[in-house]
Chain A
């Protein structure tokens, strides 16, 4: 078993954080995990991405050409990574920040107005958790309880009061995609 998720968006959209939550959750399930950031030229222009590889055996390559899932937080990310999603994989699109439909038909396209749903919760910075909630509801890469545990672990200190609202955001994203 191995799955790979590439999360991409503008700096400040919580891309790297979302990847770390997945890494914590994978650890909670006693799985192997590698979180790998893009750095260097790709970071220019304020975009950021990271790849999270989750496996039940020693992980080889930390970056993959065809990830099982892509979370595209904005249009440049969709343009860049849509073609890379592995056939049969998942493409989560933050439709709030994207003005076009997906072109692929051989993958699961999950369209979620992440930023708008986040604003309903009072904080548009929660869009990342909404999209992750949607992805996990469909892909079942990780169990909801391990994600909850991961949020507890990755939001410590002053950020701890953000745990509940992130849990709510994850659920909102999951509910949204199930209701479609």
Chain B
């Protein structure tokens, strides 16, 4: 199939449909709404289930019910809606059901902005819902990558009976890029053994998240954890650019990662040996890749569109072996490559390890910029 121009939000909707999506439930919220609108015409046209729910609470619980019947199901929303869905996500994780969530992230906290952000990193990667559960979280940096990741996410969710999250910065939902759509898969006819279907006696199935016996609940928690260990082993994804001889490494995901790519190219043109590690799977986090980068370079600069959420994960992995610095824009502001280039130049001019927490030092540098 040839490449076509696709808007991010519509592209992921079509990719999900081609992956055999059977039921979509959602609620309007900027900057995600084009996906809901796209689904509202495409799904009924294909004889599949589309329903605009009364709220994000309604939407995620409709997905919960649909997932219980064993169909491929998903919802999409943006940050404030994701917060509302956290309850349902925890229940779905506990019931060990596969589902896909696309979170088109906007600036927060609160109602915040409708501009691009990565402020949902903690609530997705480290779990905004209660209890020990582990969603798979991927952060694409462009429309084609979004298509490919959403298309594959249903398989991952089913393989691990887990929640698959695709976290899109608002910018990627709103941008248009060429993308090649994958082939249309047939909608699955069989249903998984565990799914409810209407049965009694020895065919009776119960899908629940409650078990008041702590010993049983502990076993279930361990089962989730062990399954997660398999995910950590098998599903790490990242991209590297100009890392071969790099002495400085940028680590940034999604939009922040691709903006950093522009800065890295500009710095390379000026002779600075800098490279980029762009984590695609945020959960599981590319621990080994970050360790290898830390062993190779003298300085790491983490770039995010939040106040350093992934930074904490990088610090945890690097464990002080390499100097780690941070640069971020917050509340829905996207950095320009020039800002990151200036950081690279600053570090190249003075690569000695920093004295203090990278976030504190960043606040000192960014405050005059923000208040300008």
Indicate if A touches B (C-beta under 8 A).
Answer: yes
The reply to whether the CB of B3 lies closer than 8 angstroms to some CB of chain A is yes
Chain A residues near B31: list those with CB within 8 A.
39
A residues sitting closer than 8 Å to B (CB atoms) are 20, 23-24, 27, 32-37, 39-41, 58-65
A150 to chain B, nearest CB (A): 10
Neighbouring B residues of A35 by C-beta, 8 Å: 5, 175-177
> Which of A20, A39, A63, A65 is the one whose CB lies under 8 Å from B114?
A39
Q: In the complex, which of the residues A24, A32, A34, A60 contacts B175, with contact meaning CB atoms closer than 8 Å? A: A34
A23 to B336, CA, bound (A): 21
Shortest beta-carbon contacts, A-B, top 9 = A60-B262, A60-B261, A35-B176, A61-B259, A61-B262, A65-B336, A40-B115, A61-B337, A36-B175
Instruction: Kindly provide the distance from the CB of A92 to the nearest chain B CB, expressed in whole angstroms.
Output: 21
Once the chains are docked, how many angstroms separate the CA of A60 from the CA of B338? Answer: 12
Contact assessment for A36 and B5 in the assembled complex, using a CB-CB cutoff below 8 Å: no
Minimal beta-carbon separation of A60 from chain B (angstroms): 3
B99 interface hit (Cβ, 8 Å): no
B259 touches A60 (CB 8 A): yes
B178 and A27 contacting across the interface, CB-CB below 8 Å = yes
How far in angstroms is the closest Cβ of chain B from A99?
30
Extra contacts, 6 of them, besides A41-B113, A61-B258, A62-B255 (Cβ < 8 A), are A23-B5, A34-B142, A34-B175, A60-B260, A60-B264, A65-B336
Query: Complex: how many Å from CA A59 to CA B259?
Result: 9
Taken together as a complex, chains A and B put the C-alpha atoms of A33 and B142 apart, in Å, by: 11
Chain B residue nearest to A40 (CB atoms) is B115
A36 with B337: in contact, given A59-B258, A60-B260 (CB under 8 Å)? no
Q: Is B36 an interface residue (CB 8 A)?
A: no
Chain B residues numbered 242-266 whose CB sits less than 8 Å from any CB in chain A: 255, 258-265
* Closest residue on chain B to residue A39 by CB atoms: B174
The answer to whether A61 touches B336 (Cβ under 8 A) is yes
| Distance in Å: Cβ of B177 to nearest Cβ of chain A | 5
Bound Cα distance A36, B176 (Å): 6
A58 touches B261 (CB 8 A): yes
**Given A60-B265, A62-B171: A40 and B259 interface contact (C-beta under 8 Å):** no
Which interface class (under 10, 10 to 19, 20 to 34, 35 or more) fits B?
Answer: 20 to 34
In Å, the complex CA distance between A65 and B339 comes to: 10
Name B's A-contacting residues (CB within 8 A). 3, 5, 31, 113-115, 142, 171, 174-178, 255, 258-265, 332, 334, 336-338
Give the residues in chain A near B113, CB-CB below 8 Å. 40-41
> Which of B115, B174, B178 has a CB less than 8 Å from the CB of A36?
B174
Interface centre among A32, A33, A40 (most CB of B within 10 A): A40
Q: Which residue of A lies closest to B255 (CB)?
A: A62
Q: Measured between alpha carbons, how far is A58 from B259 in the docked complex, in Å?
A: 11
Residues of B within 8 A of A61 (CB): 258-259, 261-262, 336-337
Which A residues lie within 8 Å of B3 (CB)?
Answer: 27
Contacts of B332 in A (CB 8 A): 40
Tell me which of B175, B258, B332 has the highest count of chain A C-beta atoms within 10 A of its own C-beta: B175
Counting chain B CB atoms within 10 Å of each CB, which of A20, A23, A58 scores highest? A58
Give every chain B residue within 8 A of A20 (Cβ-Cβ): 5, 176
Q: Please, how many angstroms separate the alpha-carbon atoms of A33 and B4 in the complex?
A: 11
Structural contact, A33 and B261, CB atoms closer than 8 A: no
* Residues B174 and A34 in contact, CB atoms below 8 Å apart: no
Residue of A nearest to B113 (CB): A40
Task: Show 11 A/B contacts (Cβ-Cβ < 8 Å), sorted by A.
Answer: A23-B5, A27-B178, A32-B178, A41-B113, A58-B261, A59-B177, A60-B263, A61-B261, A61-B336, A64-B337, A65-B338
Closest to A42 in B: B115
Residues on B with beta carbons closer than 8 Å to the beta carbon of A33: 177-178
B5 contacts A27, CB within 8 Å? yes
What residues of chain A lie closer than 8 Å to B260, measured between beta carbons? 60
A60 touches B5 (CB 8 A): no
A21 CB, min distance to chain B CBs, angstroms: 10
Q: Report which of B177, B334, B337 forms a contact with A60, defined as CB distance below 8 A.
A: B337
Q: How far is B258's CA from A35's CA once the two chains are assembled, in angstroms?
A: 14
Chain B residue numbers with a CB within 8 Å of A32 are 178
Assembled-state Cα–Cα distance A61/B259 (Å): 4
Instruction: Point out the residues of chain A lying under 8 angstroms from B265, CB to CB.
Output: 60
A64–B178 alpha-carbon span in the complex (Å): 19
What residues on B are CB-neighbors of A27 within 8 Å? 3, 5, 178
**With the chains together, A33 CA to B177 CA distance in Å?**
6
Bound Cα distance A157, B360 (Å) = 56
CA distance A58 to B332 in the complex (A): 24
Q: Which B-chain residue is minimally distant from A36 (CB atoms)?
A: B175
